[in-house]
Amino acid sequence: MASLPHMRNEPRMLRETQTAFAASLIAGDSTAGSRIRAGKLPSARRLEIYRHNVMSNLRGVLKDIYPVIFAVVGDAFFLHAADQFILTHPSRSGDLNQFGGDWSAFLATYPHATDLPYLPDVATLEWAWHEAFHARDAPAFELGRLAGIPAEEHGELRFMLHPAVRLLQSRFPILRIWEVNQASHAGEMVVDWDSPAKSLMIHRDVADGVSVLIDQISDPGYAFLQALRTCATLGEAATVALDIDATFDLQGFLLESVQSGVIVDFVRERL
Amino acid sequence: MPAATASISSSAGIGLRPPHYRAILELMPAVSFLEVHSENFFGDGGQPLKYLARLREDYPISTHGVGLSLGSTDPLAVDHLKKLKRLVDAVEPVLISEHLCWVGVNGRFLNDLLPLPYTVESLAHVVQRVGEVQDFLKRAILIENVSSYLEFSESTIPEWEFVREVANRSGCQILLDVNNIYVNAVNHDFDAHGYLDTIAPGSVGEIHLAGFQDTGEVLIDTHGATVSDEVWRLYEYAIQRFGCVPTLVEWDTDIPALPVLLGEAEKANGILAAHAQRAANAA
């Protein structure tokens, strides 16, 4: 008999059982019931217990990452949407912090959310917050390094954003929606739906290095940081920002970005 | 008892969960160690790792994984293992543990601690996988028995023998969850004390305690209540058999204020102290 010396014995029976069990849980049927001892409870009921556990774990993850969406739409809406999402967007990791990144895209096509067109952008904001919370730490900008470079070469430098920085724009007042739905919010709940589109920056507080902040920034400031994000030189990013608003205080914005830990480094390489 | 864990054996530790981060830093309670869910610290940076770095200055840390999917027939997730290794290198945990279960298959994670069919084939598979993880981490790990609400028809090995053999054959230690044994004993109608009698003293490196919920049809391992009287009695029996083993109280749903959890740890301390006293008297 031909042997396959490099191949381990595949646990074929185990794989079949796991495949059938998982399929039954996802489908919510009892086809895997024949593989389960009934005992005091019917095997279909035992499968239901596991399905319930799986669904409630994942719902809980979405609720933790998207508390504002939950506050806006309420329990029943959220659970229905979450269940649809969980079944159509499988978790791909044993690390649940990776789960739920497609929630915004899902809400954009979720039929029951058509009357709430701002929901996807709120979800994008909450996912950005989640990413910023877990992002890599970065040491503060070393101004001394910059001082060592002749001023006429500064335009060629490529400034780098802190790994936690996320930039987003919305035609909806999502920052206000976010604020009034915080547990700590006291006072008026009024949202001005006619306010103009806004540019937002999510980043970590330079004071403690870990608290996540959401700031409204100017459109040229937004364009400037976006350009830096795509590895533009300072000169190129400045042009993009000044094209939007010739009066943009570039120097002031750059300094503020360094001081607030949004810009943390630079490189001199030509790309 | 390995020297490294001797310092955490005479009194209980607690599971560290986000709602308690601040309270623990403020109160610095006298618990012997803190156990974290490894995956909660898989991020690249930020607040969770900052808190953990701060707490590890004052407490031994144990990392307890829930997502490695040891029993799955999918290949081991290398990125998951790498993140675990990164955490282990940063924290230098006193104990590293995972569950005797699978959490997903065919690339789809169900993110729940799903029971295995206890067969010769599963046993060989799990032993192989534990070996791979230990080789990767260059350290022995502990494997926890899980609670379950079903048994697979194809199972041919009693759970307690399966647990014992995984440890025997892979060289890992057992993280004996006494609550899970009690829950399974009720759900599957076996003798919990007999389970403990099968496990060799010396193979148990840690004990977990938690609360369950009785739904009327099964006991569900919710980690959302105080430890039941029956489980305390089983724990006393376990300590008599296994000696003073690092003991951890877990609470994961409806998490109460920190003092409630500390109260549970105190109860475990009483049992550990009484055993130590008896052992001293006997000697």
Domain ranges of chain B: 3-282
Structure token pair of residue A236 = 């190129």
Task: Please indicate if any CB of chain B lies within 8 Å of the CB of A96.
Answer: yes
Alpha carbon dihedral A175, A178, A183, A184, in 10-degree steps, equals 0
Q: What is the pLDDT of residue B219?
A: 96
Of A96, A132, A133, the CB nearest to B111: A96
Helix (H, G, I), strand (E, B) or coil at A94: coil
Task: Please indicate if any CB of chain A lies within 8 Å of the CB of B111.
Answer: yes
Distance of CA B91 to the CA centre of its chain: 18
Residue of B nearest to A93 (CA): B109
CA B71/CA B56 separation, integer angstroms = 30
Q: Are strands B142-144 and A198-204 parallel, antiparallel or unpaired?
A: unpaired
Spans of chain B, pLDDT less than 70:
1-4
Helix (H, G, I), strand (E, B) or coil at B14: strand
Q: Do B150 and A57 touch (CB under 8 A)?
A: no
**Contact, B95 vs B61, CB < 8 A?**
no
Q: What is the pLDDT of residue A196?
A: 86
Q: Which residues contact B80 (CB under 8 A, 6 or more apart)?
A: A93, A94, A95, B42, B67, B68
CA B191/CA B159 separation, integer angstroms = 12
Largest interatomic CA distance in chain A: 82
Largest interatomic CA distance in chain B: 56
Range with the poorest average pLDDT among A168-177, A191-200, B171-180: A191-200
- B118 torsion bin: left (phi>0), alpha (psi -120 to 50), beta (else): beta
Of B68, B107, B152, the CB nearest to A36: B152
Task: Look up tokens 């495949």; give the residue.
Answer: A19
- A236 torsion bin: left (phi>0), alpha (psi -120 to 50), beta (else): alpha
Interface of B with A in 2-61 (CB under 8 A): 39-40, 42-50
Kindly indicate the confidence band of residue A271, based on its pLDDT and cuts at 50, 70 and 90. low
Return the closest-CA partner of residue B36 out of B55, B23, B22: B55
Interface of B with A in 214-273 (CB under 8 A): 217-218, 220
Kindly indicate the confidence band of residue A194, based on its pLDDT and cuts at 50, 70 and 90. confident
Check residue A215 and report its DSSP letter.
E
In chain A, domain spans: 121-271
Residue of B nearest to A52 (CA): B112
**Test the A interface: residue of B105, B188, B190 with most A CBs within 10 Å:** B105
In CATH, the number for domain B3-282 is: 3.20.20.150
Chain A residues closer than 8 Å to B117 by CB? 13-14, 17, 35
The pair phi, psi for residue B44, each rounded to 5°, is -80, -20
Q: What is the pLDDT of residue A5?
A: 45
Check residue A168 and report its DSSP letter.
E
- Tell me how close the Cα of B32 comes to any Cα of chain A, in angstroms: 27
Structure token pair of residue B123 = 């046993």
Of B44, B111, B125, the CB nearest to A134: B44
Task: Please indicate if any CB of chain B lies within 8 Å of the CB of A158.
Answer: no
**Each residue of A75-120: pLDDT tens digit?**
999 999 999 999 999 999 999 999 999 999 999 999 999 999 999 9
Chain A residues closer than 8 Å to B218 by CB? 41, 49
Other C-beta atoms lying within 10 Å of the C-beta of residue B8: 23
Task: Please indicate if any CB of chain B lies within 8 Å of the CB of A67.
Answer: no
Task: Please indicate if any CB of chain A lies within 8 Å of the CB of B193.
Answer: no
**Each residue of A219-256: pLDDT tens digit?**
999 999 999 999 999 999 999 999 999 999 999 999 99
**Contact, B212 vs B184, CB < 8 A?**
no
**Each residue of A143-157: pLDDT tens digit?**
888 888 999 999 999
Q: What is the pLDDT of residue A3?
A: 44
Q: Do A164 and B46 touch (CB under 8 A)?
A: yes
- Tell me how close the Cα of B39 comes to any Cα of chain A, in angstroms: 5
CA B52/CA B38 separation, integer angstroms = 11
Nearest-5° angle of CA B15, CA B18, CA B22? 100
Q: What is the pLDDT of residue A90?
A: 97
Chain A residues closer than 8 Å to B45 by CB? 134-137, 163-164
- Tell me how close the Cα of B83 comes to any Cα of chain A, in angstroms: 10
User: What is the Rg, in whole angstroms, of the alpha carbon atoms belonging to chain B?
Assistant: 18
Task: Please indicate if any CB of chain B lies within 8 Å of the CB of A85.
Answer: no
pTM of the predicted model, to two decimals? Answer: 0.95
Task: Look up tokens 């998490």; give the residue.
Answer: B255
- Tell me how close the Cα of B46 comes to any Cα of chain A, in angstroms: 5
Residue of B nearest to A19 (CA): B105
Q: Do B39 and A95 touch (CB under 8 A)?
A: yes
Q: Amino acid letter at B35?
A: E
Other C-beta atoms lying within 10 Å of the C-beta of residue A10: 11
Task: Please indicate if any CB of chain A lies within 8 Å of the CB of B102.
Answer: yes
User: What is the Rg, in whole angstroms, of the alpha carbon atoms belonging to chain A?
Assistant: 25
Alpha carbon dihedral A217, A222, A224, A226, in 10-degree steps, equals 140
Q: What is the pLDDT of residue A39?
A: 84
Packing angle of the helix pair B258-282, B229-242 (nearest 10 deg): 40
CA distances from A199 to A104, A108, A162, A245, B260 (A): 18, 20, 18, 14, 45
Q: Do A54 and B152 touch (CB under 8 A)?
A: no
Structure token pair of residue A123 = 């979800």
Who has greater pLDDT, A193 or A166?
A166
Of A15, A137, A164, the CB nearest to B73: A15
Model confidence at A10: pLDDT above 90: no
Task: Please indicate if any CB of chain A lies within 8 Å of the CB of B158.
Answer: no
Q: Do A94 and B66 touch (CB under 8 A)?
A: yes
Of A8, A9, A18, the CB nearest to B72: A18
The stretch A172-184 carries a mean pLDDT of: 95
What kind and span of H or E run contains B25?
helix B21-27
**Test the B interface: residue of A8, A9, A10, A14 with most B CBs within 10 Å:** A14
CA A200/CA A166 separation, integer angstroms = 8
